A and B are shown apart, each in its own frame.
Chain A
Amino acid sequence: MARELPYIAAIGEAIHQEMERDDTVLYIGQNIATTDDDPYLKAFGSDRVRVTPISETAEIGMAIGAAMAGYRPVVELYMAEFMLVAMDQVVNEANRFHYMTAGQVNVPVVLKAGYGFTAGWAGQHTGTIYGMFMGVPGLKVALPATPADAKGLMTASIRDDNPVVFFHHYLLTLEHGDVPEGEHVVPLGQANVVREGGDVTIVALGYMLGQALEAAEQLASEGVQAEVIDPRTLAPLDTATILTSVEKTGRLVVVDQSTRHGSAAAVIAAEVASEGFSSLKAPVQLVTALDATIPYSEPMEQYLLPDAAKIAAAVLESPVPA
């Protein structure tokens, strides 16, 4: 049975259910469990649920150590940018140990990081930085765009034996959607064809899924049938689903809120150009943020960011195959 839940509550439900299911799941981070009526604290106690100081290196590093010693910590990081002060732990510690020890060590850590708070948070709290992590060997990157996927991907992330960076978009926080009750797992590495269509493939990352679906509606009214794909995880990346779609449509538009040269879109475009060149009947289009820091003032902020209109325009302006 499904019922409506906000995106953020779906994530919380996954963490709660996994903590019930598995005693080794821990939940630590800043500004959680600071009062006795905290629901996690009440349910699971202060051994497994702990507030940490503003010490990202220690929080993430200790989560890695606890994982090496047999636990499955979920680290509440609030904002994705806060990982940047602890980058070594994320891209040069957590992901290395399984490999460097020839499999003696597993590091099942989930780093829960909100991103893309493009609602007037200006330059340092609005970044869409998952592109930095997708090419890091040993790290998995989850990018839920819907409440149901948020629950399913968090469940899979907690159960995975590898470190996972779980990026949730701040503007989706209170978006409602159907979420299955009970156990719900979305496997890491499985894209979702959200809308079928034969004229153009739109791969939309994270928050951009909603914008892409809106664009697809607009395109349909103009006689263009777009197939919209949500990769759901960037590492592993389900290139096969994207290639299959491009084989059918011959056209690809990749939509990403990241700055172009740091975008996952650029990697996806390269994969399709390399593996699916013969299917392409038109150049791959990237619809990304412009290469600038996100400004505070609203008109400037909107100017930089991709949206439904820009996606539709990119499709309509790109050469149509004969």
Chain B
Amino acid sequence: MPDHDLDRERLVWIFTQMLRVREFEERVKRTFEEHPGVIRGHTHLADGAEASIVGSLATLRPDDQLLTTYRCHGYPIVLGTDPKAIMAEIYGRKDGLCGGYGGSMHLTDVGRGFLGTSGIVGQGIPHAAGAAYAAQIRGQGQVVLSFFGDGATKQGAFHETLNIASLWKLPVVFVMENNNYNVHTRVEQEDANAAVGEPLAVKAKAHSMPGVSVDGGDPIAVYETVSAAVERARSGEGPTLVESLVYRLSAHGNLIAPPGVPLHYPEHEAIAHFGNREEYEAALRGDPVPRFRGRLVEDGTVSAEDADRIAEEVRAEMQAAVDFGLESPFPPAEAATNYVYA
């Protein structure tokens, strides 16, 4: 008997969303090889974090809200934003989600509760708490999720915000996606808790709120943990810090190689910087997407044929997103001076 309240339909939904995020990120990555120069600047992929993203968002009501980090492609995909608009944005096109003004790092879909994305590490955390303050005043039981990485917990913005959020009992859940790396600094090189072998969730203690760590590769475990935190927030008891342990399967971001354009995604820092191929291969063996598929097929929730069919549909959907993005025109250059002021 499952110890969660997710029915078959919901489990298949979670699996499908994980596949969609993975396939989208794969298509972004392939764009560097297949269409060099189409993606400018810096792009960060969420492959490896799918279970954490989908498990977290599965807890939300339609009127809940969230703010995330610049590694932000996955969330709107799960919320129902059209991947075509997201890909077109990453390609800098007129039909992009933000009209080509924001690009990969600033995806926003206000209509779906995705309020805005700061590209500066840790600085979106107070924005989420501010939205939670607004929710508290409105008093309609809305909850805000704040996503950030382990690196952000070294920012003053993190500690300042957790203090106020706890003091004011704001309806916010802080989801720290701990992927063990700040670019190519390992967590134990920059975090006092990690250096002595403690989970980063202990940081919650300083702000008198619950802190829990969860296997971010298991969407059901994430769902259960975040659900409890969301319920706590919704009932007015205040915030929780959830440390979701994930392993990003791609490098921090695409190669920064001026002049010219990056032609491929670099290898993960475990290999490229630390020469630790074993660590990376172990992470690949634990890849949350095949892991969850195997579990659902094994317990009969979905047949192997159905799982393959879903994957095929997802591939077609994301191919269409790429095609749409490539065909969408660029915005007119003179549009660059729009939206300076509201």
A: which residues have CB within 8 A of B?
26, 47-48, 50, 52-53, 55, 57-58, 60-71, 73, 88-89, 92-93, 96-108, 137-138, 140, 161-162
Contacts and interface: CB of A to CB of B under 8 A. Distances in A.
A100 B101 contact: yes
Interface string B126-143: 111111111111000000
A104 B123 contact: no
B106 interface: yes
Interface string B183-218: 000000000000000000000000000000000000
A73 B109 CA distance: 22
A239 B163 CA distance: 44
B241 to A, nearest CB: 15
A62 B109 CA distance: 19
A69 B65 CA distance: 9
Contacts of B161: 55, 57-58, 61-62
Nearest to B146: A65
B163 A58 contact: yes
A86 to B, nearest CB: 9
Interface stretch (B1-9, B45-53, B110-118, B244-252): B110-118
Contact of A88 (B116, B120, B340): B120
B329 interface: no
Contacts of B102: 100-102
Given A61-B125, A71-B134, A89-B126, A98 B341 contact: yes
Interface of B: 65, 67, 98-102, 106, 108-110, 115-116, 118, 120, 123, 125-137, 156-157, 160-161, 163-164, 167-168, 338-342
A52 B137 CA distance: 16
Which of B106, B116, B163: most chain A CB closer than 10 A?
B116
A161 to B, nearest CB: 4
Given A47-B137, A53-B164, A101-B101, A65 B157 contact: no
B207 to A, nearest CB: 11
14 contacts: A58-B164, A61-B127, A65-B130, A65-B134, A69-B130, A88-B120, A96-B106, A101-B108, A101-B116, A102-B99, A104-B109, A104-B116, A105-B116, A107-B342
Contact of B131 (A65, A93, A97, A106): A65
A92 B120 contact: yes
A61 B340 contact: no
A69 B116 CA distance: 10
B98 A65 contact: no
Given A61-B125, A99-B101, A101-B108, A69 B342 contact: no
A57 B136 CA distance: 20
Nearest to A64: B127
Contact of B342 (A62, A70, A96, A161): A161
Contacts of B110: 101, 104-105
A71 B134 CA distance: 7
Contacts of B109: 104
Contacts of A61: 123, 125-127, 129-130, 157, 161
A70 to B, nearest CB: 6
B319 to A, nearest CB: 26
Contact of A68 (B131, B136, B338): B131
A64 B341 CA distance: 15
A104 B107 CA distance: 11
Contacts of B98: 100-102, 104
